[in-house]
């Protein structure tokens, strides 16, 4: 039976939905004030952001946008007020130094109570923050952390040496669960350990304990145990999906989607970082100067305290832990997946890195000896080209007066983006783009290709952690390839892909066994 309340409320709510989702978008579409109807794209996307939200939420955004560009060309309409540009010229115009574009309101959905470096939209605010980060991420500061990276990798080796199994017969290609380790999980634990070391000079010990169960602490001081790593993906999934909605709907959408586990997961990540920040603050009481990211955020170069608010500090440190571990975990898993699938590349890499080890006892080589190894860098770059970790198309918005992008005038307040994955698979830029060919990066032609390679983006908002990423990836890949042989659980194994901000994979079961040349410890 309908009560009088539902008799009134239900029709009102339904009319509201029809007006919001059907009538207003239809009028907007036909008025076409920005003249975006001239750009091809899926019809639903021209009416509603729900098309993009659905594609993103279900993990199909990158592939769908790629197919659209294949069908329609370099410019595609992917939302009522949103254009995707698949060209290098557009990358330069939208992201390059001096661009007139701003970060889109998409980033507001990612922001907590305080803006951090990545989600700061205001250019002045960003420039101020970036200065603080720049000191901690300069090549010299990064290389000062080499000993921490080496220690953490050594811990992984201690664990993997125990888990390594005997060499299988040459014709065995399928392995039983008891012979396998989840390489993705271990690499993720290692990247979190490294991020903790770099940010807080603290040993999280996740690799040592083989798990990320750790203390989380609310701002009020209530402590509990949780697994932060498993919380990252669901949190990124919901906050990035809602980023594609109209910004006026952000608050209401948060209520509508309050059932999603990603919100609770977001609290776990914040509480994990809050505990680290509080612990690191109390460590400061001993007056010893620690050279870590936390110090760079809190003190000027002359040691004067900056006085950053606790909330802001927690947000910046969260960014570092998440951005610094998720992207590199994806890259590492992909590197090993490609190398295992391409034994010739694995052996070429082994031959090269073997020259960088001082003697048979050395486990982790010195960074100085591997940082210019061409094939090692080529394997990393080819992986980041083929599967860029951060596949999100980095949405920007044009300034109110509009701007020119790749020779086209785009009206003001239009969302514009450049799909990295599609650009990296453009046959005009990369020959045989779907093949894994590290050799393409060697020599002069390889150096030339770098101009078409944008996994870290470009311009003032490009990745600040690039130097750190190369050092970590190079040391880890060289060490593991030098020490172990790898095999997938079966020849037809394929990763399960979870696409949110990053394109992360599920577990990667592999069998590892020691190389004969890596001396038994
Ligand atoms: C393979 C590894 C990595 C890849 C592919 C990558 C990629 C990117 C990309 C594409 C952006 C631009 C995001 C945007 O425009 O919204 C970015 C920004 C950023 N990355 Fe990375 N990243 C990697 C590793 C790291 C590491 C190791 C750290 C920290 C230790 C880090 C910290 C950051 C930060 C703080 C920003 C924000 C920069 C700003 O807005 O000024 N990244 N990264």
Which residues partner with 409 through β-bridges?
404
The residue whose C-alpha atom lies closest to atom 1 belonging to ligand 1 is 328
The residue whose C-alpha atom lies closest to atom 17 belonging to ligand 1 is 463
**Residues 25 and 105 grouped into a single domain:** no
Task: Note the ipTM here.
Answer: 0.98
Q: Which of ligand 1's atoms lies nearest the C-alpha of 462?
A: 12
Maximum distance among all Cα pairs of the chain, rounded to whole angstroms: 84
Q: Which of ligand 1's atoms lies nearest the C-alpha of 119?
A: 40
The residue whose C-alpha atom lies closest to atom 21 belonging to ligand 1 is 463
Question: Residue 503 in contact with residue 62, Cβ under 8 Å?
Answer: yes
Whether 433 maps to a domain, the answer reads yes
Question: Residue 315 in contact with residue 116, Cβ under 8 Å?
Answer: yes
**Residues 383 and 405 grouped into a single domain:** yes
Per-residue 3-state assignment (H helix, E strand, C coil) for 488-519: ECCCCCCCCEEECCCEEECCCEEEEEECCCCC
Residue-level pLDDT at 358:
82
Question: Residue 296 in contact with residue 135, Cβ under 8 Å?
Answer: yes
CATH number of the domain enclosing 51: 1.10.630.10
Distance (Å) from CA 194 to ligand 1 centroid? 15
Whether 519 maps to a domain, the answer reads no
Separation between Cα atoms, residue 489 and residue 181, nearest integer Å: 9
Whether 497 maps to a domain, the answer reads yes
Number of other residues whose CB lies within 10 A of the CB of residue 462: 14
Whether 303 maps to a domain, the answer reads yes
**Residues 14 and 37 grouped into a single domain:** no
What is the CA 404 to chain-centroid distance, rounded? 29
Distance (Å) from CA 463 to ligand 1 centroid? 4
Residue-level pLDDT at 521:
43
Distance (Å) from CA 20 to ligand 1 centroid? 36
The residue whose C-alpha atom lies closest to atom 31 belonging to ligand 1 is 465
**Residues 181 and 217 grouped into a single domain:** yes
Distance (Å) from CA 118 to ligand 1 centroid? 8
Distance (Å) from CA 388 to ligand 1 centroid? 12
Sequence-distant (≥ 6) Cβ neighbours of residue 434 within 8 angstroms: 386, 425
Q: Characterize the bridge pairing of strands 82-85 and 415-417.
A: parallel
The residue whose C-alpha atom lies closest to atom 16 belonging to ligand 1 is 394
Question: Residue 453 in contact with residue 380, Cβ under 8 Å?
Answer: no
Q: pLDDT (tens digit, 0 to 9) for every residue of the chain, 521 residues total?
A: 556 667 777 777 778 777 777 788 889 899 999 999 999 999 999 999 999 999 999 999 999 999 999 999 999 999 999 999 999 999 999 999 999 999 999 999 988 888 999 999 999 999 999 998 888 898 888 888 999 999 999 999 999 999 999 999 999 999 999 999 999 999 999 999 999 999 999 999 999 999 999 999 999 999 999 999 999 999 999 999 999 998 888 888 888 899 999 999 999 999 999 999 999 999 988 878 788 899 988 888 788 888 889 999 999 999 999 999 999 999 999 999 999 999 999 999 999 999 999 887 899 999 999 999 999 999 999 999 999 998 788 999 999 999 999 999 999 999 999 999 999 999 999 999 999 999 999 999 999 999 999 999 999 999 999 999 999 999 999 999 999 999 999 999 999 988 998 998 999 999 999 998 654 44
Runs of H (alpha helix) within 355-396? 367-370, 374-386
**Residues 6 and 87 grouped into a single domain:** no
Q: Which of ligand 1's atoms lies nearest the C-alpha of 325?
A: 27
Q: Given its phi and psi angles, is residue 441 left (phi above 0), alpha (psi -120 to 50 degrees) or beta?
A: alpha
Sequence-distant (≥ 6) Cβ neighbours of residue 359 within 8 angstroms: none
Q: Tally the residues of the chain.
A: 521
Give the DSSP per-residue string, 98-112: T-S-EE-THHHHH--
Residue-level pLDDT at 520:
46
Distance (Å) from CA 466 to ligand 1 centroid? 7
Distance (Å) from CA 346 to ligand 1 centroid? 27
The residue whose C-alpha atom lies closest to atom 11 belonging to ligand 1 is 463
The residue whose C-alpha atom lies closest to atom 10 belonging to ligand 1 is 456
Using CB distances shorter than 6 Å, the residues near ligand 1 are 117-118, 130, 319-320, 323-324, 327-328, 331, 384, 389-390, 394, 455-457, 461, 463-465, 468-469
The residue whose C-alpha atom lies closest to atom 30 belonging to ligand 1 is 324
Separation between Cα atoms, residue 307 and residue 318, nearest integer Å: 18
Is residue 463 part of an annotated ligand binding site? Answer: yes
Distance (Å) from CA 107 to ligand 1 centroid? 14
Separation between Cα atoms, residue 74 and residue 90, nearest integer Å: 10
Whether 124 maps to a domain, the answer reads yes
Q: Which of ligand 1's atoms lies nearest the C-alpha of 460?
A: 41
**Residues 107 and 195 grouped into a single domain:** yes
The residue whose C-alpha atom lies closest to atom 3 belonging to ligand 1 is 327
Secondary structure class of 158 (helix, strand, coil): helix
Distance (Å) from CA 389 to ligand 1 centroid? 10
The residue whose C-alpha atom lies closest to atom 23 belonging to ligand 1 is 327
Distance (Å) from CA 462 to ligand 1 centroid? 7
**Residues 16 and 77 grouped into a single domain:** no
Residue-level pLDDT at 192:
98
Whole-Å CA distances, 369 to 157, 224, 282, 466, 475: 20, 43, 37, 19, 10
Whether 443 maps to a domain, the answer reads yes
* Best residue among 124, 327, 331 to mutate for probing ligand 1, ranked by most atoms within 8 Å of CB: 327
Distance (Å) from CA 30 to ligand 1 centroid? 39
**Residues 164 and 294 grouped into a single domain:** yes
* Best residue among 134, 143, 196, 323 to mutate for probing ligand 1, ranked by most atoms within 8 Å of CB: 323
**Residues 394 and 356 grouped into a single domain:** yes
**Residues 301 and 397 grouped into a single domain:** yes
Separation between Cα atoms, residue 295 and residue 144, nearest integer Å: 14
Choose among 310, 285, 289, 311: nearest CA to 300: 289
Residue-level pLDDT at 5:
65
Whether 520 maps to a domain, the answer reads no
Q: Which of ligand 1's atoms lies nearest the C-alpha of 130?
A: 41
Query: How many Å is the Cα radius of gyration of the chain?
Result: 24
Structurally, how many domains does the chain consist of? 2
Q: Long-range contacts of range 488-493, CB-CB < 8 Å, 24 or more positions apart?
A: 488/337, 488/340, 488/341, 489/174, 489/175, 489/180, 490/173, 490/174, 490/175, 491/173, 491/174
**Residues 8 and 80 grouped into a single domain:** no
Residue-level pLDDT at 12:
79
**Residues 269 and 358 grouped into a single domain:** yes
Residue-level pLDDT at 286:
82
> Which residue do the tokens 């007056």 mark?
287
Separation between Cα atoms, residue 132 and residue 339, nearest integer Å: 37
Kindly provide the b/e burial profile for residues 145-167, where b requires at least 16 CB atoms within 10 angstroms of the residue's own CB: bbebbbebbebbbebbbeebeee
Separation between Cα atoms, residue 392 and residue 286, nearest integer Å: 42
Which residues partner with 195 through β-bridges?
none
Whether 521 maps to a domain, the answer reads no
Separation between Cα atoms, residue 140 and residue 137, nearest integer Å: 8
The residue whose C-alpha atom lies closest to atom 37 belonging to ligand 1 is 118
Structure tokens at 151: 């220690």
- Domain housing 482: 32-514
């Amino acid at each position: 039976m309908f009560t009088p309340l539902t008799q009134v409320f239900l029709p009102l709510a339904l009319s509201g939905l029809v007006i919001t989702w059907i009538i207003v978008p239809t009028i907007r579409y036909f008025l076409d004030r920005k003249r975006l109807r001239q750009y091809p794209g899926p019809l639903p996307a021209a009416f509603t952001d729900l098309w993009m939200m659905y594609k993103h939420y279900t993990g199909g955004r990158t592939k769908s946008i790629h197919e659209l560009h294949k069908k329609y060309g370099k410019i595609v309409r992917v939302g009522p007020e949103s254009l995707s540009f698949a060209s290098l010229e557009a990358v330069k115009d939208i992201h390059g130094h001096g661009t007139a574009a701003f970060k889109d309101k998409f980033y507001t959905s990612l922001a907590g109570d305080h803006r951090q470096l990545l989600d700061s939209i205001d250019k002045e605010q960003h420039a101020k923050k970036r200065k603080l980060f720049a000191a901690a991420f300069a090549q010299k500061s990064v290389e000062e952390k080499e000993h921490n990276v080496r220690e953490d990798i050594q811990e992984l080796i201690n664990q993997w040496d125990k888990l390594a199994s005997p060499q299988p017969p040459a014709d065995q290609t399928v392995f039983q669960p008891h012979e396998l380790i989840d390489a993705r999980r271990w690499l993720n634990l290692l990247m979190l350990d490294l991020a903790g070391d770099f940010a807080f000079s603290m040993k999280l010990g996740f690799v040592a304990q083989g798990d990320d169960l750790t203390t989380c602490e609310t701002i009020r001081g209530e402590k509990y145990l949780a697994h932060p790593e498993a919380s990252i993906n669901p949190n990124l999934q919901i906050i990035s999906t809602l980023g594609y909605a109209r910004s006026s709907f952000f608050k209401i959408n948060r209520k509508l989607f309050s059932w999603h586990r990603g919100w609770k997961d977001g609290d776990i990540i914040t509480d994990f970082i809050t505990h680290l920040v509080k612990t690191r603050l109390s460590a400061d009481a001993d007056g010893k100067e620690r050279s870590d990211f936390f110090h760079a955020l809190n003190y000027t170069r002359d040691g004067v305290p900056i006085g950053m608010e606790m909330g802001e500090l927690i947000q910046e440190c969260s960014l570092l832990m998440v951005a610094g571990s998720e992207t590199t975990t994806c890259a590492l898993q992909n590197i090993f997946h490609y190398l295992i699938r391409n034994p010739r590349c694995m052996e070429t890499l082994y031959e090269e890195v073997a020259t960088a080890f001082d003697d048979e006892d050395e486990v982790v080589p010195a960074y100085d000896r591997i940082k210019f190894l061409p094939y090692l860098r080529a394997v990393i770059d080819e992986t980041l080209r083929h599967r860029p970790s951060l596949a999100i198309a980095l949405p920007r918005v044009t300034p109110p007066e509009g701007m020119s992008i790749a020779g086209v005038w785009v009206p003001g307040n239009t969302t514009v983006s450049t799909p990295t994955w599609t650009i990296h698979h453009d046959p005009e830029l990369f020959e045989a783009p779907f093949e894994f060919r590290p050799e393409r990066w060697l020599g002069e032609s390889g150096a030339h290709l770098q101009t078409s390679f944008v996994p870290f983006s470009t311009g003032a908002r490009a990745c600040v952690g690039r130097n750190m990423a190369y050092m970590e990836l190079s040391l880890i890949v060289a060490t593991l390839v030098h020490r172990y042989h790898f095999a997938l659980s079966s020849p037809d194994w394929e990763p399960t892909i979870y696409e949110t901000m990053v394109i992360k994979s599920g577990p990667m079961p592999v069998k590892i066994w020691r190389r004969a040349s890596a001396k038994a410890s």
